[in-house]
Structure 1
Amino acid sequence: MSEPLLALENVTVRHLNRVLFSNLTFRLEPGQHWALVGESGSGKSALLTTLAGQLTITGGRATYSQLDALAQERAAATHDPLFTWRRLVSLVPARPSFRTLANTTDIYYQQRFNATDTDSVPTVEDYLRAVPLAAAAPHWTYERVATLLRLTHLQAQRLIKLSNGETRRLLLAAALLRNPALLLLDMPLTGLDAQSRAAFDELLAAIMASGITVIMATSPHEVPAGITHVAVLQAGRVAATVEKAGFHPDQLTAAGLPTLDETELRALLALTPPPQFQTIVRLDDVTISYGNKTVLDHINWEVKPGERWALTGPNGAGKSTLLSLLNGDNPQAYRQRITLFDRRRGSGESIWDIKRQIGFVSPELFQYFPARQSCLHIIESGFYETLGLLRPSQPDKAAIARRWLRLLGLEEHAATPFRQVATSVQRLCLLARALVRNPPLYLFDEPCQGLDAQQQQHFRHVLDRICQVSNVTLIYVSHYPHEIPQSVTQVLRLEQGRRVEG
């Protein structure tokens, strides 16, 4: 038997004061490419982080035979005696962490909409040019990754202005520029439109053909063609491993859906009856540009109370910019003919007059949301529409937040710091934060990202029941038609900033 690239034998993996894995065994042989599947919170992201050498391994035995040998070759070629196997591993996480040009982490959510504040944020080219090369004669060059991942036209764009799908492509480009031997991808298809997902198999084939080994966390129904083996994770353990040809996703045992307490749902909605309006949204010939780039081009649209809309279109079509106009975040709204909740923008209303009428979730909000507070406090902050609880907790509001946690099956995480729970729990907490005030309008931008099939189904059921028993207005963005709730009956489609039919 040949030496493995790496092997973990009965190891214990810890993070902070928690044990993530006990008696973990995983072996990666040359020529293998793995998919990690399992329910949200089963340990897929933790296993990727472990393989990247970013978590503490105790007990058992961890070896990196072929990675160590290749690291010695690279050290000699680059004249870098400190070159280790860790530099041969690139991890593309589910939640990126960008830094300013001053090398701080002071990037905040509203910064993406304030032109004077974005100058401190690197451009796409700045970010990629700063990636240290790990090979003397790299296969993956700047020009190659920019072309292959369709970033050439975005080189001058500030990172904070990228769409969610564009950000995913950028992170993969940066990982490839390191010319790794092992590429670890955490849900790489998340946030990609149908065209980008269809092209992913071809991209992955090119990556594998260049000699890179791939391990990726993914949905069991989205295992790419180049994958050779599948590991099924359950509750922090590798429950099964199988060659891809023998993997059948429909045979996975799924947890049953939580029972929705409809009496409690109605009671929560009755606590704060929303105000009544004649018009929720009206856009009259709205055009938004940044420099020479037109993001929205002469958009006309009206949304009446109780209507449920799907907002669709490819990555970069202008969907997130349109939502930022409705949510009060984009200052260009003042120069446009926009009516929100029966009031013309710029007629004396404050941003908080707008935000208190909206429950909002987006990938960008998730990316820049501060994560040190407890899950309960994160949800309670929804009463004030602040990014985290910036005032003392109020017992009555905390009690309501806890009831929403219970309704969504999250009560056990109430006291846990937001940053320590699984990505899926974080996303569900932000959904609960949007629901907690029972606002008249929901703006949900890809709200099911990071949720497993059962969590998605439960959330859609909750949302459909809310729509059935209330007059809430919904604007829902998703690249997956099956994620769109049944209550949605109308569609606005954007392409290259324009409204199109179909």
Structure 2
Amino acid sequence: MHQPILSINHATVRFLNNTLFTNLNFTINKGENWALIGNSGSGKSALLQTIAGRFNITGGDITYHFFEDFLNQAGGNQHHLTHHKLISIVEPRHHFRNLSNTSDFYYQQRYNSSDSEDALTVNQYLQSITILPHFSNYWDMDKVIMLLNLNPLLTKQIIKLSNGETKRLMIASALLKNPAILLLDSPLTGLDVETRTLFTSIIKEITSSGISVLMATSPFEIPDAITHVAVLENRSIIQSAPKDAFDPQSFLKEEKDYMDSGELKALLNNDPSKKAYEFIVKMNDAFIKYGDKIILNKVNWQIIPGERWALLGPNGAGKSTLLSLINGDNPQAYANNIVLFDKKRGTGESIWDIKSKIGFMSPELHQYFPTDNSCLQVIESGYYDTLGLFRPSQKNKADIAFRWMKALEIEKFARVLLKNIPASAQRLCLLARALIKNPDLLIFDEPCQGLDAHQQQHFKNLVNTICRISNVTLIYVTHYQNEIPDSVTKVLRLDKGRVVN
């Protein structure tokens, strides 16, 4: 007989003025581990947030049976406890705080040695997690450090972690709380190929310790320890079954991907008077060191206008630091022999001169925008290279921003706050922000993170079309070969700060 640990019955779920679910029914039984499958915006993240207690239940009910069992087993006075203490959630966005106990990190902080000292180290962060003594203490510091391979990172400030390293730390911190239920929202995004390969064994060890796992993931990345699959569509669970009965191939739908080349050409508005450069990037023996740790070790790279490069390498290889030298975010660029757009760094050009020629997007960039900016405002801010629109909107610029939103199929979010839309739509807003000023160089750092299969294909088609009808230069960072657009013809591969073949 099934023993439920959590059940949702005929629930209406609301957040602010939005109804997220109506008549929602979902049950997790003891020994079950679930994968949530669905396209972007289908409700996967919203279901995880509902279980975590972040949204209001205005009809029906949600029962945390595991908490009742815990209270019966624990005995004594446990009135200070709530079921929330027995649930851990790992979200796409981190919520790190600095030593001043605020969360006001800024994007370039990781590259400024004095400012980054205001961030905890990985070891300090793990030590700061409150572990209630009456919970199961299976997961301790030693176990999570070993499971997530954090030992090489213990003395590193959390602000300096790569995207994949941050994800591993977030999973470790969630485990230290020894929850009854672990909620994972797209946990594989940002992880390199090796860590993704190990993820199946990581989940197996977590579930073997007695924790029930519920994860939002791709239909093609379901770990072996997952027992059941729920498919969501339009914020409804349309199918639930044991994993053995789920066929990932049946989830794929043939969708035509219409690309309006004429509109893209008009938006790109190729200006024949644009300056022609000999080199977009030219760096000789670039060397970056923080304390005793060498991040980049004698990197040589030349990028000619119109070239399209893939920048590859595992988590922590130095890719983000290399990009920061090009994008004007790293002050150590002045101590290196680096030429950008035919001008040597340190010969009078400003950071804003450099940024005006570059369209940049990265998976963590959305964390640094003001929480009161709409998607349209975020995209318009691309004209000014600011993380947010800090001046009155101009109608002609806002109109172009909206045209880019239509080209990326996200116009319905124009007036919605960036923080309130799906992570995949946030990525596409940042893409539009990068494209809006028709830059000479596009830098896309893991741009397909969080995109569903259709959105990934649409994005690749978009990049290929842009490269076909313009002479834009491209640097494209990814962990996966299948995500690289056909227009990319050159590769620079990093490992431990060095260029490798």
Q: Distance in 1 between matches of 2:67 and 2:242?
A: 23
DSSP 3-state at the match of 1:59 = strand
Deviates more, 1:361-370 or 1:473-482: 361-370
Change (3 A) 1:395 1:213: same
Letter in 2 for 1:42: S
- Determine the structure 2 residue equivalent to 1:138: 137
Name the SS of the counterpart of 2:476 in structure 1. Answer: strand
Comparing 134-143 with 407-416, which one deviates more in the overlay?
134-143
User: Shift of the alpha carbon at 1:101?
Assistant: 1.8
Q: What corresponds to 2:216 in structure 1?
A: 217
**Could you give the per-residue CA deviations for residues 265-292 of structure 1, whole angstroms, max 9, x where no partner exists?**
1111116565321100011011100001
Deviations 1:304-335 (A, max 9, x none): 00000100011000000000000000000000
Q: Which residue of 1 aligns with 2:297?
A: 297
Where does residue 226 of structure 1 map in the other structure? 225
* Mapped contact 2:10–2:25 kept (Cα < 8 A): yes
Distance 1:272 1:414 in 2: 27
Q: Give the direction of change, closer, same or farther, for the CA distance of 1:410–1:257 in structure 2 (3 Å limit).
A: farther
Give runs of aligned pairs for residues 349-360 of structure 1, distance below 5 A: 349-360=349-360
Aligned to 1:103: 101
**Matching residue of 1:129:** 127
Give runs of aligned pairs for residues 187-336 of structure 1, distance below 5 A. Answer: 187-252=186-251, 254=253, 256-270=255-269, 274-336=274-336
CA distance 1:74–1:127, shift in 2 (3 Å) = farther
Aligned to 2:62: 62
Change (3 A) 1:308 1:74: farther
TM-score by length of 2: 0.97
* Change in 2 beyond 3 A, CA 1:106/1:255: farther
The number of residue pairs the alignment matches comes to 499
CA 1:440–1:40 in structure 2 vs 1: closer, same or farther (change >3 Å)?
same
Provide closer, same or farther for how the CA distance between residues 500 and 3 of structure 1 changes in structure 2, counting only shifts above 3 A: same
Between the aligned partners of 2:318 and 2:18, the Cα distance in structure 1 is 41
2 CA distance for matches of 1:461 and 1:75?
A: 59
In structure 2, the residue matched to 1:16 is 16
Give how far 1:258 is off.
4.3
Q: How does 1:133-212 map to 2 (within 5 A)?
A: 133-136=131-134, 138-212=137-211
Query: Residue type matched to 1:107 in 2?
Result: F
Secondary structure of the corresponding residue to residue 20 of structure 1? strand
128-137 or 157-166, larger mean C-alpha shift: 128-137
Asked if residue 82 in structure 1 is aligned to residue 116 in structure 2, the reply is: no
The one-letter code matched in structure 1 to 2:81 is F
Aligned equivalent of 1:119, options 117, 120, 128? 117
Distance change (3 Å), C-alpha of 1:178 and 1:433: same
* Cα distance in 1 between the residues matched to 2:480 and 2:152: 26
Query: 1:51 aligns to what?
Result: 51
Amino acid at match of 1:490: K
TM-superposition CA deviations, 1:415-461 (whole Å, max 9, x none): 11111111111110001000111101011100010110100100110
Q: What is the rounded CA distance, in whole Å, between the counterparts of 2:102 and 2:474 in structure 1? A: 37
Contact 2:309 2:490 in 1 (8 A): yes
SS of the equivalent of 2:310 reads: strand
Amino acid at match of 1:93: E
Alpha-carbon distance, 1:135 to partner: 4.2
Distance 1:21 1:500, change over 3 A: same
Q: 1:255 to 1:370 in 2, by over 3 A?
A: farther
Counterpart position of 1:42:
42
Give distance in 2, aligned partners of 1:74 and 1:259. 59
Distance 1:119 1:80, change over 3 A: farther
The whole-number CA distance in structure 1 between the counterparts of 2:174 and 2:129 is 8
Q: Note if contact 1:6-1:67 (Cα within 8 Å) is conserved in structure 2.
A: no
Q: Map Cα deviations across residues 211-240 of structure 1 (whole Å, 9 max, x no partner).
A: 110000001110111110000000111111
**Deviation per residue, 1:77-97 (Å, 9 max, x gap):** xx6531222111100001111
Q: Which runs of no fewer than 5 residues in structure 2 stay unpaired?
A: none
Cα distance change, pair 125–147 in 1 and its aligned pair in 2 (3 A) = same
Evaluate the alpha carbon distance shift between residue 86 and residue 440 of structure 1 in structure 2; reply closer, same or farther with a 3 A threshold: same
Q: CA deviation at 1:72?
A: 4.8
Deviation of residue 158 (structure 1)? Answer: 1.1
Worse-superposed segment, 26-35 or 267-276: 267-276
In structure 1, list runs of 5 or more residues that go unmatched.
none
Q: 1:298 to 1:183 in 2, by over 3 A?
A: same
- Structure 1 letter corresponding to 2:482: H
Moved more, 252-261 or 307-316: 252-261
Residues 365-404 of structure 1 correspond to what in structure 2 (within 5 A)? 365-404=365-404
Q: Secondary structure at the match of 1:206?
A: helix
Contact 2:308 2:475 in 1 (8 A): yes
Structure 2 contact 71–78 (Cα < 8 Å) conserved? no
| Residues 318 and 496 in structure 1, CA contact (< 8 A), matched pair in contact too | yes
> What do you get for the CA RMSD once the two structures are aligned?
1.4
Displacement after TM superposition at 1:67 (Å): 2.6
TM-score (norm 1): 0.97
CA-CA distance at 1:74 after TM superposition: 4.6
The amino acid of 1:7's aligned partner reads S
- CA shift, 1:370, in A, is 2.9
SS across alignment from 1:97? coil
Which amino acid in 1 is paired with 2:62? A
Find the aligned partners of 1:164 and 1:129 in 2 and give their Cα distance. Answer: 21
Structure 1 pair 454–299 and aligned structure 2 pair: CA distance change class (3 A): same
CA separation in 1, counterparts of 2:179 and 2:388? 37
The alpha carbon displacement at 1:71 in A equals 4.3
Deviations 1:328-375 (A, max 9, x none): 000000000000000000010000010011010112313333332111
- After superposing the two structures, state which structure 1 stretch, 105-114 or 399-408, moved more: 105-114
